[in-house]
Amino acid sequence: MPRYRLTLEYDGGPYCGFQAQADLPTVQGALEAAVKAFCGQTLRVAAAGRTDTGVHATGQVVHMDLDKAWPPETVRNALNAHLARESVVVLDAAVAQGDWHARFSATGRRYLYRILNRTAPSALERGKVWHLKGDLDTEAMHQAAQVLVGLHDFTTFRDLKCQAKSPIKTLDVAQVHWMGDEIRLVFEARSFLHRQVRSMTGTLAQVGLGRWSAQDVRTALEAQDRQACGPVAPRTGSISPGSIMRQG
């Protein structure tokens, strides 16, 4: 039974997140329906991570075990044909080697959050950026973000419905920089808590607007209290660029 590694790109707008849910449109549901249409097999796709409702992806890694061996390009092309009416595309397909697993072989995950910081909203990127009109101090945001780097109890930045066993995570990278009219926030970690990225982003935006200081962020982090978190950023600007994977 060959295992196929797939790299996905999708617009999360039409979906209630990645994970399959009964009677709700999801990315996983769309992909599994395409697999069944392609080869008649009913299966469960395993993913490197899950995304929330409305969150987009440019490099989501998943795997599936098929009953029959197919050339990888056939798998990719066939799935894309059956996904033609969906907002999901298979960018790449390959045969996985050994014990490679989409979730357990992931050594890191990256998230990008885009803030459009100008007076006018976007016509072309609506639903994919967070539009903030006020001038944001990106240097202050970047410096405050460094408070979050390292091993911490991230309870403050953890959604109350988070199912993770522990709030303790290691944030490896937190960067804030300009790109054109956008402020881009990049976070890297082995794994994230539910809505951790959006919670951190919303808090850092308060720093950019001059309402919070880096010390306020530290105080909120050390409080280990969800009530200490700043406003949570909307899902529209959140993108999962992909996972850092062990080869296989």
Q: Which residues contact 76 (CB under 8 A, 6 or more apart)?
A: 6, 90, 91, 92, 93
Backbone dihedral angles phi then psi of residue 30, each to the nearest 5 degrees: -65, -40
From the candidates 11, 23, 52, 159, give the one annotated as an active-site residue. Answer: 52
How many residues would you count in the chain?
248
CA distance 76 to 21: 24
3-class DSSP state of 106: strand
CA distance 93 to 46: 14
Q: Is 52 one of the annotated active-site residues of the chain?
A: yes
**DSSP states of 222-237 as a string?**
HHT-GGGS-PPPPGGG
Catalytic sites, residue numbers = 52
